[in-house]
């Protein structure tokens, strides 16, 4: 079956995952359409990060189905590398390569994985670094950048692979408050450009503003989801209400 | 709050000093030089009248000793090179995804790491042929080369452990990031993990080299004409008991002078790398 953009870009069906006997995901199902931005919120340990890692096969699932552009991820014969070329991911701890400059971090995967022309990649990398507003930092090493700057380079590094979807795993959780805004602005611009995004976040204001759909997870299940206005104004489930009361 | 003066143990500065490996320090050199001077003095006093002075005798034999010492250095270089070249893939095999490869390399590493160096030396001396044939050419395998191979075995095993430890010390996030960029395992190792390991491995690698160098006199037991053996030969040809202590101290000083700069450089590198 050939995937067409009118079908979900990512679709999860009854996904189960446990780590050493602890069930982290207990039958999660969700759909993300192309160009959609979804935010996943929920208490710590509710399986949000694991959920994201299942989508690009960083974490294998026990049962269920994950389709990315119509391709089954839960398949022993899956070409993981082909899948990961389409799915970009940004991590809480940035995970930039510390022995490479910002520019080299951005250029590395397109050159060595996609085997693209170095000159062309370099031009794109400069453009991406400008896009995340870090012109002039091309030759800086990650250790010389602030957390927020590193995170924006990490976003540029993922974008350099021209992914169809971006996964953001609590990307502002480790940042100083004053640098959070720059990162959120970058993600918001991406979303405005039509990039499909799955965002795990604790920034409620950001979720309300940027998301098309907000999902609430607790204890490995998706409790409820709704467009942000409705979600924050009138949550249906008592668990959601309790969570929102605690943090808002 | 005065952190430096407190009775609360948790507030006292954490000192890593206790866990540091043993190294040559300037004090060792000073003590060695002082001992040598004293020994020479005692030797001169004990010497029978009419015999040449201790210092003159030592200087007379210095060129020969230097020749022997050059062999020690050559053996240490070669053993280090062999040990490193085989040790790196052996260390990488220990993180292989294939269980048999992992188990096999683990066994080899542990075997050679935990065997006494002298036992390995004897094994190589006795089990390796004195020559072997490649096609029609006969390649001789002299004793010093055999013992170099013997010394390279524990170096190899220690090197493998250094590599394995360094790879494991790289944060898991680096692997995840490389995975998410669709890099293969080989690419991740070659471009992301190992370059970061080199920096971490350099100081312990240099330390290993210093340990190997001071271990090269072990080969005198199996009859290699290195500095230690020659010192024994010199003493027996002189036949003067008052020469014994100064001569061996003199030999110790040679090793110290060679290894001390390495120890200093190792320390400097560790300090520099610790900052980042």
Cα–Cα distance between B262 and B32 in angstroms, integer? 18
B6 or A235: which carries more pLDDT confidence?
A235
A41 with A206: CB under 8 angstroms? no
Supply the CATH number for residue B76's domain.
1.10.3720.10
Please count the structural domains in chain A: 1
- Taking only the tens place, the pLDDT of each residue in B51-109 is 888 888 899 999 999 999 999 999 999 999 999 999 999 999 999 999 999 999 999 99
Please check whether residue A165 touches B, CB under 8 A: no
- Taking only the tens place, the pLDDT of each residue in A136-148 is 999 999 999 999 9
Domain with A55 in it: 10-247
Q: Which residues of B touch A85 (CB under 8 A)?
A: 182
Q: Which residues of B touch A95 (CB under 8 A)?
A: 171, 173-174, 176-177
Percent of chain A with pLDDT over 70: 100
Task: Give every CB contact of residue B271 below 8 A, 6+ residues apart in sequence.
Answer: none
3 state DSSP class of B203: helix
Q: What is the pLDDT of residue B139?
A: 86
CB interface of B with A, residues 149-178, below 8 Å = 171, 173-174, 176-178
Domain with B114 in it: 25-41+52-275
0.85 surpassed by complex ipTM: yes
User: Quick check: is B16 in a domain?
Assistant: no
Q: What is the pLDDT of residue B92?
A: 95
A181 with A152: CB under 8 angstroms? no
DSSP labels for B219-259? GGGGT--SHHHHHHHHHHHHT-GGGHHHHHHHHHHHHHHHH
> Which stretches of chain B drop beneath a pLDDT of 70?
1-23, 274-276
Cα–Cα distance between B234 and B89 in angstroms, integer? 43
Measure the CA dihedral A57/A59/A64/A67, to 10°.
-20
The alpha carbon of residue A242 is apart from the nearest alpha carbon of chain B, in Å, by 33
Q: Which residues of B touch A98 (CB under 8 A)?
A: 196, 276
A89 with A52: CB under 8 angstroms? yes
Among the partner residues A81, A89, A97, nearest to B192 by beta-carbon distance: A97
Cα–Cα distance between B258 and B17 in angstroms, integer? 24
The alpha carbon of residue B90 is apart from the nearest alpha carbon of chain A, in Å, by 24
Q: What is the pLDDT of residue B95?
A: 93
Are the Cβ atoms of B183 and A112 closer than 8 angstroms? yes
User: Quick check: is B214 in a domain?
Assistant: yes
pLDDT at A121 over 70: yes
Are the Cβ atoms of A58 and B176 closer than 8 angstroms? yes
User: Quick check: is A4 in a domain?
Assistant: no
Supply the CATH number for residue A89's domain.
3.40.50.300
CB interface of B with A, residues 257-276, below 8 Å = 276
Cα–Cα distance between A118 and A109 in angstroms, integer? 11
Are the Cβ atoms of A158 and B176 closer than 8 angstroms? no
Backbone phi and psi for residue B247, each to the nearest 5 degrees, phi listed first: -65, -45
Cα–Cα distance between A64 and B154 in angstroms, integer? 50
Q: Which of A182-191, A196-205, B7-16, B253-262 has the lowest mean pLDDT?
A: B7-16
Q: Which residues of A touch B199 (CB under 8 A)?
A: 99
- Residue closest to A38 by CA, chosen among A10, A60, A13, A65: A10
Q: What is the pLDDT of residue B10?
A: 58
User: Quick check: is A3 in a domain?
Assistant: no
Per-residue DSSP letter, A47: S
Cα–Cα distance between A220 and A42 in angstroms, integer? 10
Q: What is the pLDDT of residue B11?
A: 56
Q: What is the pLDDT of residue B46?
A: 82
User: Quick check: is B72 in a domain?
Assistant: yes
Q: What is the pLDDT of residue B135?
A: 84
Are the Cβ atoms of B173 and A95 closer than 8 angstroms? yes
Q: What is the pLDDT of residue B15?
A: 55
pLDDT at A214 over 50: yes
Per-residue DSSP letter, A237: S
User: Quick check: is B2 in a domain?
Assistant: no
Please count the structural domains in chain B: 1
- Beta bridge pairs of residue A214: A39, A226
Q: What is the pLDDT of residue B197?
A: 93
Cα–Cα distance between B214 and A223 in angstroms, integer? 67
How far does chain A reach from its first CA to its final CA, in angstroms? 45
Are the Cβ atoms of B182 and A81 closer than 8 angstroms? yes
Please check whether residue B195 touches A, CB under 8 A: yes
- Residue closest to B145 by CA, chosen among B77, B85, B206: B77
pLDDT band at A8 (very low <50, low <70, confident <90, very high): very high
Which structure tokens are listed for A236? 């249906």
- What is chain A's mean pLDDT, rounded? 93
Please check whether residue B181 touches A, CB under 8 A: yes
Cα–Cα distance between A209 and A216 in angstroms, integer? 16
- Beta bridge pairs of residue A72: A67
B38 with B182: CB under 8 angstroms? no
Tell me the count of A-B CB pairs closer than 8 A: 57
pTM for this entry: 0.83
Our measurement of the distance from residue B179's CA atom to the centroid of its chain's CA atoms, rounded to an integer in Å, reads 37
Give the number of C-alpha atoms closer than 13 A to the C-alpha of residue B8, restricted to the C-beta side. 5
Are the Cβ atoms of A113 and B199 closer than 8 angstroms? no
Q: Quick one: how many helices (H) and strands (E) in chain B?
A: 10, 2
3 state DSSP class of A25: strand
Are the Cβ atoms of B180 and A93 closer than 8 angstroms? no
Q: What is the pLDDT of residue B13?
A: 54
User: Quick check: is B107 in a domain?
Assistant: yes
User: Quick check: is A5 in a domain?
Assistant: no
Please check whether residue A151 touches B, CB under 8 A: no
Mean local confidence (pLDDT), A83-89:
95
Cα–Cα distance between B113 and B116 in angstroms, integer? 8
User: Quick check: is A2 in a domain?
Assistant: no
B217 with B226: CB under 8 angstroms? yes
Q: Which residues of B touch A82 (CB under 8 A)?
A: 182
Cα–Cα distance between B130 and B117 in angstroms, integer? 21
């Amino acid at each position: 079956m050939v995937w067409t953009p009118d079908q979900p870009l990512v679709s999860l069906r009854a996904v189960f995952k446990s780590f050493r006997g602890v069930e982290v995901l207990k039958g999660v199902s969700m759909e993300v359409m192309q160009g959609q931005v979804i935010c996943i919120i929920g208490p710590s340990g509710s399986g949000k990060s694991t959920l994201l890692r299942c989508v690009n096969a960083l974490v294998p699932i026990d049962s269920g189905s994950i389709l990315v552009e119509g391709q089954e991820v839960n398949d022993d014969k899956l070409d993981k590398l082909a899948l990961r070329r389409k799915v970009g991911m940004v991590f809480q701890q940035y995970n930039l390569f510390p022995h490479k400059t910002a520019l080299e971090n951005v250029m590395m995967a397109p050159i060595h994985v996609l085997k693209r022309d170095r000159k062309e990649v370099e031009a794109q990398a400069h453009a991406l670094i400008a896009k995340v507003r870090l012109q002039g930092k091309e030759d800086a090493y990650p250790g010389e950048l602030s957390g927020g700057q590193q995170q924006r380079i990490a976003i540029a590094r993922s974008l350099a692979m021209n992914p169809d979807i971006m996964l953001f795993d609590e990307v502002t959780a480790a940042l100083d408050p004053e640098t959070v805004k720059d990162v959120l602005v970058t993600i918001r611009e991406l979303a405005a450009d039509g990039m499909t995004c799955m965002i795990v976040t604790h920034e409620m204001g950001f979720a309300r503003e940027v998301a098309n759909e907000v999902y609430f997870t607790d204890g490995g299940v998706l409790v409820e989801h709704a467009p942000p206005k409705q979600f924050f104004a009138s949550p249906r489930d008592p668990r959601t209400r309790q969570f929102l009361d605690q943090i808002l | 709050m005065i952190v430096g003066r407190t009775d609360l143990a948790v507030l006292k500065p954490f000192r890593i000093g206790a866990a540091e490996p043993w190294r040559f320090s300037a004090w060792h050199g000073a003590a060695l030089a002082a001992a040598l001077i004293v020994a020479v003095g005692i030797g001169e006093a004990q010497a029978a009248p009419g015999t040449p002075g201790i210092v003159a005798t030592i200087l007379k034999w210095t060129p020969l000793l230097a020749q022997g010492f050059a062999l020690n250095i050559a053996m240490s270089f070669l053993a280090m090179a062999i040990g490193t070249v085989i040790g790196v893939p052996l260390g990488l095999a220990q993180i292989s995804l294939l269980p048999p490869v992992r188990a096999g390399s683990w066994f080899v590493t542990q075997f050679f790491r935990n065997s006494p160096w002298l036992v390995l030396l004897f094994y190589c001396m006795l089990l390796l042929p004195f020559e072997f044939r490649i096609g029609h050419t006969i390649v001789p395998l002299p004793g010093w080369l055999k013992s170099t191979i013997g010394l390279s075995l524990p170096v190899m095993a220690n090197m493998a452990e250094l590599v394995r430890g360094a790879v494991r010390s790289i944060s898991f996030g680096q692997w995840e990031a490389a995975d998410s960029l669709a890099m293969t395992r080989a690419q991740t190792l070659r471009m992301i993990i190992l370059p970061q390991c080199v920096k971490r491995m350099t100081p312990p690698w240099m330390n290993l080299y210093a340990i190997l160098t001071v271990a090269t006199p072990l080969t005198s037991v199996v009859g290699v004409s290195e500095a230690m053996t020659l010192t024994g030969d010199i003493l027996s040809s002189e036949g003067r008991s008052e020469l014994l202590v100064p001569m061996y101290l003199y030999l110790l000083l040679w090793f110290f002078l060679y290894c001390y700069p390495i120890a200093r450089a190792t320390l400097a590198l560790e300090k520099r790398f610790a900052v980042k």
